[in-house]
Amino acid sequence: MDAFFSVTFLSAEYTITNVRIDSVGIDENNCPVIFEYKRSSNENVI
């Protein structure tokens, strides 16, 4: 995450009230960044 997005990794499979976040990190402005991983690709997925 740091090499590509300048985001420091915090946790994987983080759960908040019945919602699971694939990965969460924090950027250089101390703002949270959420990563959701997908198995398929289309115009809406990077």
Residue spans of the domains in the chain: they are 2-35
Angle at 40 between CA 13 and CA 43, to 5 degrees: 110
Mean pLDDT of 7-12: 94
Reported pTM? 0.69
**Quick one: pLDDT band at residue 37, thresholds 50, 70, 90?**
confident
CA dist., res. 40 & res. 45, Å (int): 8
Residue 46: per-residue pLDDT = 66
pLDDT, mean of residues 9-28: 91
- Helix (H) or strand (E) run with residue 4 in it: helix 2-5
Interstrand relation of 32-35 and 19-27 (parallel, antiparallel or unpaired)? antiparallel
Q: Which helix or strand (DSSP H or E) is residue 33 part of? A: strand 32-35
